[in-house]
Amino acid sequence: MRPNKREELVHKALGIFYQNGFHATGMDMIVREAGISKTSIYKHFRTKDDLILAVLRLRDENFRNWLYRRIEETAQTPKQQMIVLFDAVDEWFALPEFKGCMFIKASAEFQEPDNPIYVQAAEHKRMLYEHFADVAQKAGATKPKELSRDLMLLVEGAIVMAAMGVFSDAAGDAKRAAISLIEAQLN
């Protein structure tokens, strides 16, 4: 009983925080929307911030697992993996509930560099960077870390421009630019 309720809470809180923002979501709203009593919430988490941290952990795990799996099941070579990364984020952008990156939001709302929330958000990005540095190395890039940074810059830029509704095909633009940069590094 206990583990499932905790997971249910984190899962529901994730959706609520994502749609409303962290500070703009009060615990009473979580109670109402999640249908879980405040007593239970505080039984599992000492503070609202602890709940947010758990939410970020779940989101990190879900997102990275989905992304890596999505990429690996549609691309055969490491080079192709770097390219279809942008198809995957394009799928993400097309989701009806898409409202940008939860980790960017977390770091925007919790800006102190020693805040565990900020720290965890940044860690998520580092893990993505390291993953794609590995992919770039396997693809035979002469400077895999540099290429990974290129890809990350394009992905993050695309997330921002898509979330703000400024570019209509942010992922497509980023993919095109990425292909150019990949070709320049691999040839």
Partner DNA sequence: CCTTAGATGTACTGATCGGTATTTACAATT
Partner DNA sequence: AATTGTAAATACCGATCAGTACATCTAAGG
**Contact positions vs DNA (CB under 7 A):** 1-2, 4-5, 23, 25-29, 31, 35-40, 42-43, 46-49
Indicate whether 87 belongs to the interface with its own copies (CB under 8 A): no
Token pair for 102: 């939860």
Token pair for 141: 């890039």
Indicate whether 122 belongs to the interface with its own copies (CB under 8 A): yes
Q: Which span sits near its own copies by CB under 8 A: 2-10, 48-56, 57-65, 150-158? A: 150-158
Q: How far apart are CA 169 and CA 172, in angstroms?
A: 5
Indicate whether 118 belongs to the interface with its own copies (CB under 8 A): yes
CA distances from 80 to 60, 71, 83, 158, 180 (A): 23, 9, 5, 19, 13
CB nearer DNA, residue 44 or residue 138: 44
Helix (H) or strand (E) holding 116: helix 116-138
Residue 94: exposure state from Cβ atoms within 10 A (0-12, 13-18, ≥19): exposed
What does 66-114 look like in DSSP terms, one character per residue? HHHHHHHHH-SSHHHHHHHHHHHHHHHHHSTT--S-HHHHHHHHS--TT
In angstroms, what is the minimal distance from the CB of 124 to DNA?
22
In angstroms, what is the minimal distance from the CB of 83 to DNA?
42
- Among 39, 46, 73, 165, which residue sits at the site for its own copies (rule: CB under 8 A)? 165
CB 177 within 8 A of CB 154: yes
Token pair for 89: 């984020």
- Among 11, 44, 57, 149, which residue sits at the site for its own copies (rule: CB under 8 A)? 149
Q: Which span sits near its own copies by CB under 8 A: 19-27, 32-40, 73-81, 88-96? A: 19-27
Positions that interact with its own copies (CB under 8 A): 19-21, 23-24, 99-100, 103-105, 107-109, 111, 113, 118, 121-122, 125-126, 129, 146, 149-150, 152-161, 163-167, 170, 173-174, 176-177, 180-181, 184
